Structure 1
Amino acid sequence: MLIDILLLLVGFVALIFGASKLVDAASSLAAKMGVPSIVIGLTIVAFGTSAPELVVNVFAALKGSKEMVMGNVLGSNIFNVLGILGISAIIFPLTVKTNTTWIEVPLSFLAAILVFVVGADVLLDGAGANIISRSEGIVLLLFFLIFLAYNLIVAKGGAADEEIETKEYSNFAAIAFIILGLAGLIIGGRLIVTSAVSLAEMIGLSERVIGLTVVSIGTSLPELATSIIAVRKKNVDIAIGNVVGSNIFNIFLILGVSGTIVPLTLQENTFFDILVNILAGLLLFIFIFTGKGRQLERWEGFVFIALYIAYLSYLII
């Protein structure tokens, strides 16, 4: 068990290091090619923060660990809202911009509902099993392309005003770091899936619970770090935009890719997690309009953290 825990930790370090180096190097190359800063942020940086979840889910799907696939996506989204936004709001109240309020937060909520719609085959169609099929995975990917196009249109219209800082590397160094970053992602993702499955078997927890807790929190560490740094710099819209964007990426891109690789059979208890994810998205939208202006206030952050602790306690007990 100790070896599996160590391998899991090594996997997380390799995964996050790989994602960080890949983003830095790719951003450096893109900046040298004259790609606008905001486009780099909406594509390379956004993909980079979601890369850990994506790589872990690809390996889990290839290994046939379907419960871990769903657990990682749903667990990451729940942690993003209740955990990361809860912590961020406690540090500093989060003011939410108009676009985020009326388009991105509702879209994130609708994406959470869409997971229920595509997965509830027994309830909605009277089918024999609840399955996210390859065709539904492709549909999710098409939604992702629409979301990406929306982001680029918003950026082109000048609605996004945040500059993205890029590191400067020589072309050779950038390419070397891209290769190193990809290697870190691949090695880390494989170690995480293998050791997490082994740990689940040893301690008697299901792959679903391991995916919803240890794996999802670990793969969400880049979003946590990004949001806390943004809040401390008073760039509060980046904190909430980062989380909401990540949740949309997780469902449309990562779940879409996973479902396209292998059809995902959903267990009955997975629908509890789907409903918690929907509730978290609904609460986020409601909390924005309570209190002063469009803000997530400190007391709402404490509510989010309390709900997340209650959810984790329920899973473990």
Structure 2
Amino acid sequence: MLVNILLLLGGFVALIFGANALVDAASSLAARWGVPSIVIGLTIVAFGTSAPELVVNVFAATSGSTDMVLGNVLGSNIFNVLGILGISALIYPLTVKSNTTWIEIPLSLLAAICVFVVASDVVLDGATTNLISRSEGIVLLLFFLIFLVYNLVVAKSGGADEEMETKEYSVGKGILFIILGLAGLILGGRLIVTSAVSIAEVIGLSERVIGLTVVSIGTSLPELATSIIAVRKKNVDIAIGNVVGSNIFNIFLILGVSGTIVPLTINPDSFFDILVNIVAGLLLFIFVFTGRGRKVERWEGAVFVIAYIAYVTYLIM
């Protein structure tokens, strides 16, 4: 048990190191070769922050741990809204921009509803099992492509390309760090999946619950760190945009890739988590319009945190 816990922690360290090294090196090389900052931010950096969830899900899907695949995506999204936004709003109220209010938050809610639709084969199609098929995975990826194009158009219409800080690596050092970053992602992803499955077997919890709690929180640590640092600096746009964007990435990209690799059989218990994910997105949308101005107040952040603690307690009990 102790060995598996240490392997799990080591996997998270390797995963986060790998993602950071890959982003820094790829961003440096892209800037050196004249790629605009907008493109670097919307592709390399955005993909890098989602790399932990993506790598873990690829390993989980290929090893047949489909409960962990959906659990990691739903758990990350629920933790992003109820946990990360809740903690961020407790530190400082979160003011929401117009685009985020009317497009990105509704789109993240639509993504949550999409999971319910693609998973409900028994109810909608009269099938014997609920399954996210390869064709449905491809449809989710097409939605992701639309979101990526939207981001690029919004960024371009915002005026001049803002310079983004990137580390200055030589070509050789950049390539070396890309290789090390990929190695860290692969090693970390593998360690997390194998050790999490072993821990689940030892303590008697299902892969679904381990995926919804330990794995999803661990893979969401980059978003948690980014949001807390941003809020402490009063950069609330970054905090809320980071979370909402991550939720859209998780469903359209990560679940889409996972379902395309291996069709995912849906555990009936997962529909509770799917509904919690929808409710979390709906609460965020409602909270933006309560009180004065478009913002998430401290008391609403407290509601988010209490709701998350209650949800995790229910899962474990």
TM tier, smaller = over 0.9
1:38 Cα deviation from its structure 2 partner: 2.4
Q: Structure 1's 25 and 59: CA in aligned 2 closer, same or farther, altered over 3 A?
A: same
Residues 1:266 and 2:266 aligned together: yes
1:160 Cα deviation from its structure 2 partner: 9.2
> Could you tell me which residue of structure 1 aligns to residue 57 of structure 2?
57
CA distance in 1, matches of 2:219, 2:240: 18
Contact 2:71 2:212 (C-alpha < 8 Å) held by counterparts: yes
CA distance in 2, matches of 1:148, 1:74: 21
CA distance in 2, matches of 1:227, 1:152: 22
Deviates more, 1:32-41 or 1:287-296: 32-41
> How do residues 1-317 of structure 1 correspond to structure 2 at under 5 angstroms?
1-158=1-158, 163-317=163-317
CA distance in 2, matches of 1:146, 1:23: 23
Read off the aligned partner of 1:167 and give its amino acid letter.
Answer: K
1:184 Cα deviation from its structure 2 partner: 0.2
CA distance in 1, matches of 2:162, 2:17: 24
1:86 Cα deviation from its structure 2 partner: 0.5
Q: Structure 1's 161 and 83: CA in aligned 2 closer, same or farther, altered over 3 A?
A: farther
Read off the aligned partner of 1:112 and give its amino acid letter.
Answer: A
1:42 Cα deviation from its structure 2 partner: 1.3
CA distance in 1, matches of 2:160, 2:313: 39
SS in 1 for 2:129: coil
Q: Structure 1's 162 and 290: CA in aligned 2 closer, same or farther, altered over 3 A?
A: farther
1:39 Cα deviation from its structure 2 partner: 2.1
CA distance in 1, matches of 2:196, 2:214: 8
Read off the aligned partner of 2:60 and give its amino acid letter.
Answer: A
Structure 1 segments unaligned to the other structure (5+ residues): none
Structure 2 segments unaligned to the other structure (5+ residues): none
1:316 Cα deviation from its structure 2 partner: 0.3
Q: Deviations over 1:21-54 (max 9, x none)?
A: 1011111111112222222111111101100000
Read off the aligned partner of 1:143 and give its amino acid letter.
Answer: F
CA distance in 1, matches of 2:234, 2:224: 15
Q: Deviations over 1:227-246 (max 9, x none)?
A: 11111111111110000000
SS in 2 for 1:244: helix
1:206 Cα deviation from its structure 2 partner: 0.2
Contact 1:37 1:164 (C-alpha < 8 Å) held by counterparts: yes
1:215 Cα deviation from its structure 2 partner: 0.1
Q: Structure 1's 279 and 160: CA in aligned 2 closer, same or farther, altered over 3 A?
A: farther
1:162 Cα deviation from its structure 2 partner: 6.4
Q: Structure 1's 295 and 144: CA in aligned 2 closer, same or farther, altered over 3 A?
A: same
Contact 2:37 2:161 (C-alpha < 8 Å) held by counterparts: no
1:220 Cα deviation from its structure 2 partner: 0.3
Superposed CA RMSD in Å reads 1.1
With the length of structure 2 as denominator, give the TM-score of the two structures.
Answer: 0.98
CA distance in 1, matches of 2:231, 2:164: 16
CA distance in 2, matches of 1:134, 1:159: 39
CA distance in 2, matches of 1:84, 1:167: 27
SS in 1 for 2:259: helix
Deviates more, 1:223-232 or 1:103-112: 223-232
Read off the aligned partner of 2:4 and give its amino acid letter.
Answer: D
Q: Structure 1's 135 and 208: CA in aligned 2 closer, same or farther, altered over 3 A?
A: same
Contact 1:39 1:155 (C-alpha < 8 Å) held by counterparts: no
Deviates more, 1:34-43 or 1:208-217: 34-43
CA distance in 2, matches of 1:54, 1:162: 28
CA distance in 1, matches of 2:209, 2:161: 39
Contact 1:16 1:52 (C-alpha < 8 Å) held by counterparts: yes
With the length of structure 1 as denominator, give the TM-score of the two structures.
Answer: 0.98
CA distance in 1, matches of 2:228, 2:161: 20
Read off the aligned partner of 2:209 and give its amino acid letter.
Answer: V
